[in-house]
Amino acid sequence: MFVHVPLERATDPRPDSPIRHIATPSAFAQASLYYVQETGCGRIREKCFLERDTLGSYLIVYTVSGTGTLTYRNQSHRLRPGEAAFIDGQHHHRFGSDANKEWELYWVYFNGAGVRTYYEQFAEQEKPLAALLPDSQLGQLFERLQREQLIPDLRAELVASSILVSMMTEVVLAAHQYSSSNPAYPPLIQGVMQVIDRDYRQRLTLDRLADRFEVNKFHLAKLFKRCTGTTPGEYMINRRITRAKELLLDTALPVGDIALEVGIENTSHFINLFKERSGLTPLAYRKKWQRI
């Protein structure tokens, strides 16, 4: 059993002491949107903490200035300015400030049908923290999110949902150290991507790619995943399926010929791959999308 000390009670009711909005999302929001359960912000100047577990909720904490401490899954982490944590509230977590050290922060407990997928993308790295990119808008997003809590209506729930998507996007991108304008992939990964983009019709395997670039295949697979978020094989399949969609819509080629054209000799295997990734068989895709 963990102690729960509300932040308000642990600090003076100064104007700039932490404020907290608790939300009661509508049934519609819970079924179809990303929704806020609790959000707050403030400047903490004394030792206080918030400790929880087994919440059906996710948490993003963002440090504006000062430092705080996050304990999550039995590990402690310093939360420095410009850093955000994204954690699963199901697990025990505690975040708090130190005595005599100011910590200015935002936090939000939230949920929604797709949050787990974002969280899994984020949690691929070791720590539950990410240093935000220089052009990050996370602070502004928190401010907008909190303004939307003032009048809880349908409009506010829709806007809050879209803000939460933007926030999750920012922290996941930061975790992978992407920048939208400059992916900054290492030359090796750029080269591998170019080869796949150009030669996806051929029989490309991880071994052949590794040989071609004279690197260890395990190292290549690992680096590719770290940089792009996907494996070389999955990247190539994606490229092939995308090209197959173009051919299905732009030509009258039979499915078997399209499979060959995108480098998959076995038609049944092509159909399986296509259906897994599109939810439709190739022919069904052609019929459905050509009508538009």
Distance (Å, whole) CA 273 – CA 279: 10
Exposure class string for 124-145: b at 16+ Cβ within 10 A, else e: eeeebbbebbeebebeebbebb
221 binds DNA (CB under 7 A): yes
42 binds DNA (CB under 7 A): no
Q: For DNA, give the closer residue by CB, 249 or 283.
A: 283
CB of 265 to DNA, least distance (A): 5
177 CB-near residues (< 8 Å, 6+ apart): 133, 184
Q: For DNA, give the closer residue by CB, 14 or 219.
A: 219
190, 202, 216, 290: which one binds DNA (CB under 7 A) = 216
172, 237, 247, 262: which one binds DNA (CB under 7 A) = 237
Beta bridge partner(s), residue 88: 58
Distance (Å, whole) CA 133 – CA 121: 17
| Positions in 150-209 near DNA (CB under 7 A) | 205-207
Q: For DNA, give the closer residue by CB, 16 or 197.
A: 197
133 binds DNA (CB under 7 A): no
| Residues 255-284: x where in contact with DNA by CB under 7 A, - otherwise, as a string | xx-------xxxxxx-xxx-x-----xxxx
CB of 246 to DNA, least distance (A): 16
Distance (Å, whole) CA 286 – CA 245: 8
The residue whose two tokens read 């295949």 is 217
Q: For DNA, give the closer residue by CB, 49 or 270.
A: 270
Give the DSSP H or E segment for 209.
helix 206-212
* Helix, strand, coil content of the chain in percent (nearest 5): 45, 20, 35
CB of 243 to DNA, least distance (A): 14
Q: Which residues bind DNA (CB under 7 A)?
A: 205-207, 215-216, 218-219, 221-223, 225, 231-234, 237, 254-256, 264-269, 271-273, 275, 281-284
